[in-house]
């Protein structure tokens, strides 16, 4: 069985430590956990490894957030991966910092990365896990906040939260989405 885990983010040093790149950070932790190094390839960086006997591909698209769907569609088709075997990791303003919310399907909720995926895959029916980044910004400052760096309190808690999300994604691979949602949602 094959799985594709996609961490959403933006390429470039200026985005590395931003809230919008949390998907990349979680993807990197998953790849480190299963000892699968990233290699530059079509539409991004791909790590290819095994977890409990299952093949796991981990993708960090280099298309920028707003065109993430192109990379995902390419790899889903190339590797012939059913949509129920993909997991998209993204940031979410509607959730308090560090909150984990995994779903089997759902709307894009205004997130440009999810909007691109929906357009390319022609469906909202794919698993995703959302990392709460909260909405601690003044009116009209959403872009600055999302593309801003973590504050000191968030930086302190980030390693533990990234670890939790990594474990949730690997649980999805082995235990399935229903069991994983029961075990991890809201934690």
Among 65-69, 108-112, 117-121, whose mean pLDDT is lowest?
Answer: 108-112
* First and final C-alpha spacing in the chain: 28
Q: What tokens were used for 21?
A: 């790149």
DSSP, res 63: S
pLDDT confidence band for 102 (50 / 70 / 90): very high
- Give residue-wise pLDDT tens across range 59-79: 999 998 999 999 999 999 999
- Comparing 24 with 138, which gets the higher pLDDT? 24
Catalytic residues: 20
Q: What is the CATH number for 110?
A: 3.40.50.1470
> How many Å apart are CA 105 and CA 30, to the nearest integer?
22
Is residue 39 very low, low, confident or very high in pLDDT (cuts 50, 70, 90)? Answer: very high
**β-strand 128-132 against 100-103: which pairing, if any?**
antiparallel
- Count of structural domains within the chain: 1
Which of 14-18, 135-139, 154-158, 165-169 is the least confident region?
Answer: 135-139
Query: Quick one: pLDDT at residue 139?
Result: 87
- Residue among 125, 128, 127, 129 nearest 99 (CA): 129
Q: What is the pTM of this model?
A: 0.96
Residues at the annotated binding site for tRNA? 15, 64, 66, 112
**From the annotation, which residues make up the binding site?**
15, 64, 66, 112
Identify the domain containing residue 104 by its residue range: 2-184
109 dihedral zone (left: phi>0; alpha: psi -120 to 50; beta):
left
**pLDDT over 90 at 187, yes or no:** no
């Amino acid at each position: 069985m094959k799985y594709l885990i996609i961490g959403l983010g933006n390429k470039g040093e200026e985005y590395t430590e931003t809230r919008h790149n949390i998907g990349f950070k979680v993807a990197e932790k998953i790849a480190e956990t299963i000892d699968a190094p990233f290699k530059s390839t079509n539409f991004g960086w791909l790590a290819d490894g095994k977890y409990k006997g299952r093949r796991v591909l981990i993708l960090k698209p280099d298309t920028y957030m707003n065109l993430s769907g192109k990379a995902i569609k390419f790899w889903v088709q190339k590797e012939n991966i059913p949509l129920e075997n993909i997991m998209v990791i993204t940031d979410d303003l509607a959730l308090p910092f560090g909150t984990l919310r995994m779903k089997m399907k759902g709307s894009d909720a205004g997130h440009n990365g999810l909007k691109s995926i929906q357009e390319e895959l022609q469906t909202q029916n794919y698993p995703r896990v959302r990392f709460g980044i909260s909405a601690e910004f003044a009116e009209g400052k959403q872009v600055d906040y999302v593309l801003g760096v973590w504050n000191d309190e968030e930086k302190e808690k980030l390693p533990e939260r990234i670890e939790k999300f990594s474990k949730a994604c690997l649980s999805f691979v082995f235990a399935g989405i229903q069991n994983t949602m029961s075990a991890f949602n809201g934690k």
